Amino acid sequence: QKEVEQDPGPLSVPEGAIVSLNCTYSNSAFQYFMWYRQYSRKGPELLMYTYSSGNKEDGRFTAQVDKSSKYISLFIRDSQPSDSATYLCAMSAGSNYQLIWGAGTKLIIKP
C-alpha cells in the first residue's frame, strides 16, 4: 500500500461547479500538507500549504486537513476552464523531511 493515495481521475466537471480533490495517507506522523497544480508539460506550482489540522482558504481554493481520518481535501469554488490541470498532494512529517507525493488527479473543467 502506498503511503499517499490519490485517485488519478480524470475528473470532469462543468464550469462553475465546486470541485473536491482528495488524498488519503497512512503515516500518522505527517504534519505538513501541500497541494500543487501542474499544467500539461510544465513544472508543478505550489497552490496551498497547511500545517496540522484545519482549513485554509485562498481565494477560490480551500485546503482541509482531517488528521483523525488521515484525509486531506482541496476544494475549488466557481471552477474555471483555466483550473484544468493535474493536482498533486504532498506531505511530510517535518519541515526538514522529504515530501511524499500522491500520484496526482487530472481535473478537466468543461466550458
Partner 1 sequence: DGGITQSPKYLFRKEGQNVTLSCEQNLNHDAMYWYRQDPGQGLRLIYYSQIVNDFQKGDIAEGYSVSREKKESFPLTVTSAQKNPTAFYLCASSAMTNTQYFGPGTRLTVL
Dist CA 80 CA 52 (whole Å): 29
Instruction: Rank residues 17 and 103 by Cβ distance to partner 1 and give the closer one.
Output: 103
Query: What is residue 98's DSSP assignment?
Result: P
**74: closest CA among 28, 7, 27, 3?**
7
Instruction: Rank residues 99 and 108 by Cβ distance to partner 1 and give the closer one.
Output: 99
Q: Contact residues for partner 1 (CB under 8 A)?
A: 6, 8, 32, 34, 36, 41-46, 49, 88, 92, 94-99, 101-104
Q: How far is the CB of 15 from partner 1 (least distance, A)?
A: 26
